Amino acid sequence: MTSSSLDFASLLCSRLCHDMLSPVGALSNGLELLADEKDPEMRKRCFELLEQSAKTSADKLKFFRLAFGAAGGFGDMVPLSEARALIEALVGNNGRIELKWALGTTDLPKPAIKTLLNLANIGIEALVRGGVLEIAAEFRDNTSEIVVRAVGARIAFDPAVGAALEGKLESAELTSRTAPAAMLHELAATAGGGLQYALGADALVMGAVLPQG
């Protein structure tokens, strides 16, 4: 493994840790409160908060396992239902985003699933005031086609993430925020495909074409 690949893996680990810090921290705080709380109603509330934080932590870990990891336990093709459940769990934790699906297949290759998950996560993060996240995917002629569209009153999209999607950031310029987008660019380039995005005042559209093999 080269120094560059080690640095890249470290950035992805940093991103995972950053996203996990809040729900895991909430678990720790809840346990501290529970240890000192005697009132039955407040203890009940603490247990509810602990349950919510545990679910959020588990949802995020399952998401990143498939979005960043080796997707062990699956073959070359991964059921889209797995990706859909993970994205719906993240959006369910948000509460302000409506999901719309247009799926023309039941399975996608692993690189396409990773791409779909990470593009969806970028779309979720862009909808800081809520909105609609539309996800479309199909697999035909041994090629995966994915479109993710985020529509909302305010779109928050870091230009550096766009540059990473286009492969315009050098390794030294990558951060934990842009590393997932750079990973998608490498996945697409390795497959002989490509990524593109378009940003408007109230919409962010991202697309990917990934030939298999």
**Residues linked to residue 151 through DSSP beta bridges, in sequence order:** 132, 203
Low-confidence ranges of the chain (pLDDT < 70): 1-5, 71-73, 93-94, 213
Q: Report d(CA 194, CA 19) in Å as an integer.
A: 27
176: Cα within 13 Å, side-chain hemisphere: 10
Domains in the chain: how many in total?
Answer: 1
CATH number of domain containing 101: 3.30.565.10
Global confidence as pTM: 0.87
Q: What is the pLDDT of residue 100?
A: 96
Q: How crowded is residue 82: how many other Cβ atoms within 10 Å of its Cβ? A: 18
**pLDDT for 110:** 92
**Per-residue pLDDT, 94:** 66
Opening angle at CA 118, ends 116 and 122, nearest 5? 115
The two structure tokens encoding residue 88: 């719906």
Structure confidence at residue 2 (pLDDT) = 45
Give residue 76's pLDDT: 82
What's residue 72's pLDDT?
Answer: 59
Domain span at residue 45 reads: 3-211
